[in-house]
Structure 1
């Protein structure tokens, strides 16, 4: 399944979401300018390498400082390729604006980074001996999806489902789409614990940890001065393809 867009428009410009996407894209362009050996060194220095903290003697042999925890943040702005970057930024574009709408830009930034840090810690805890650097914003984006699930469960996600060579577009309730995504991560994460050779090199538990962190931290980060706006697509499935309307719930009930 590939999300195309959601049906909830933001009430105010998502400035911080745009800024985060711009920062990630800017760092990725810098990565493209580096030769392979320097890029690899950059991933080891600024990505999360679990064995760096579990086996400090190994890290010192490689020249990596063992008392530096900045990689928990810096890894969120590094990506391993075009597909990695685009998939993360696309999800942030779809879900981030609405979550930022309820938190405000600065609360959203702290929430986003905190979810990413927690995701990195969970990844370390579930891969204690891994010498492979982990990079990407997916843990933080998973946190945004967790918050979106709580804030807009009845919104709809326009989803592309490839049916052989036929592109099938369906409007799935946000709760359905996000929970399918979460349980696919959970299944893959359990498979990774049973045997790393059974799944690809993806930080499944970072996704799981970030998602759960987003659900737990969502409410404390909501701005009490930003009221919730109700949208037509949160109440009527038939209008999922229409532009979302910013109408009070009471008015929608009166129109039905």
Structure 2
């Protein structure tokens, strides 16, 4: 699969994006765990894969996180890590390492939670990074909806079209039953949580950040002049970011001006 994207942010081949530290670390960690799986065998999958019945009845909550580093075979891990490499580099280059890792883990956990909700009594291990990978696909499509992606090197589709197709396909494949052995609802969970996080997460963070700043003003008093200056600066930035987020919700990310993009970049750096 080869792809490139075009947006108001940049125009660049996906292959030219920086191979960030988070993407590299995720791939290395998955390969190491896969090699351990080959040595230890099925017992490792039962202990660290996502087994809903064990999580609920035995409180093995670590499985909600560890399952995303296990894989069911060579081609399973090869495909997932290829997609992490392909889409993750552009996202990490745009967001930064900390924000990228946070999002990757949140979507992986979201995939696990939806699996627990849909199949709470299952004793079959769910393994693989696919939930988080589908979250990356959603992030890429929301950032660059008109990016052209060549499926199987031949079929050109936009990132938005690809994600919509996957969402519909995974939903109907999921409700038809688990006969193919693929955790469809884990994929959907990663997509859903990724979408909700990107759509509403910043707004919640802004409000929480605004609240904590007010609380800190009571705990750590400053000079009146400095407090007024800091509060005014923070309020101005918060108001600007809220207006930009409202614009994104109504018109989409492609509607942002270069000045608004710069404000969001400054806010992202300040937050992380």
- What is the TM-score normalised by the length of structure 2? 0.67
- CA RMSD across the alignment: 2.5
Q: 1:89 to 1:11 in 2, by over 3 A?
A: closer
Q: Verify: 1:176 aligned to 2:156, yes or no.
A: no
Q: Is the 8 A contact 1:145 1:214 kept in 2?
A: no
Work out which of the residue numbers 78, 88, 95 in structure 2 matches 1:96: 88
> Cα–Cα, structure 1 residues 6 and 22, in superposed 2: closer, same or farther, change >3 Å?
farther
Residue 143 of structure 1 corresponds to 135
**What's the CA shift string for 1:123-146, capped at 9, x where partnerless?**
111111211111110011111111
User: CA separation of 1:221/1:82 partners in 2, compared to 1, >3 Å: closer, same or farther?
Assistant: farther
CA deviations on 1:149-171 (whole Å, 9 max, x unpaired) are: 111101110112xxxxxxx7132
Question: Which of the two has higher C-alpha Rg?
Answer: 2
1:206-227 deviations in Å (ceiling 9; x for gaps): 10010011112125469xxxxx
Inter-partner Cα distance in structure 2 for 1:157 and 1:186: 22
Distance across 1 between alignment mates of 2:139 and 2:194: 5
Aligned CA distance change for structure 1 residues 127 and 101 (closer, same or farther; 3 Å): same
Q: Matched residue pairs, number?
A: 199
Whole-angstrom CA distance in 1 between matches of 2:51 and 2:148: 37
Structure 1 gaps of 5+ residues are 57-65, 161-167, 223-234, 236-247, 249-256
Question: CA–CA distance in 1 between the matches of 2:136 and 2:43?
Answer: 29
Structure richer in helix, relative to its length: 2
Question: Contact 2:141–2:147 (CA<8 Å) still a contact in 1?
Answer: no
Q: Which residue, out of 75, 80, 92, partners 1:83? A: 75
Compute the TM-score of the two structures, normalised by the length of structure 1: 0.71
Deviates more, 1:132-141 or 1:87-96: 87-96
Once residues 77 and 150 of structure 1 are traced to their aligned partners in structure 2, the CA distance between those partners, rounded to angstroms, is 25
Give 1:30 deviation, angstroms: 2.2
User: CA offsets, 1:35-79, max 9 Å, x none?
Assistant: xxx42111111011111144x3xxxxxxxxx12311111111111
- Name which structure has the greater RCO, CA cutoff 8 Å, separation 6+: 1
Q: Of 112, 115, 122, which aligns to 1:123?
A: 115
1:80 aligned counterpart, secondary structure: coil
CA contact (8 A) 1:108 1:221 kept: no
Which whole-Å CA distance do the structure 1 matches of 2:97 and 2:72 have between them?
27
Q: Is contact 1:103-1:221 (8 Å) kept?
A: no
Q: How far, CA to CA, are the matches of 1:186 and 1:6 in structure 2?
A: 27
Please tell me whether the aligned partners of residues 48 and 133 of structure 1 are also in contact (alpha carbons under 8 angstroms).
yes
Moved more, 173-182 or 113-122: 173-182
Structure 1 segments of 4 or more deviating over 6 A? Answer: none
Within the alignment, does 1:44 sit opposite 2:41 as a pair? no
Q: Classify the secondary structure of the residue corresponding to 2:157.
A: strand
Deviations 1:6-43 (A, max 9, x none): 444365442211211111112112222x1xxx421111
Separation in 2 of the partners of 1:6 and 1:186? 27
The separation in 2 between residues aligned to 1:5 and 1:141, in whole angstroms, is 16
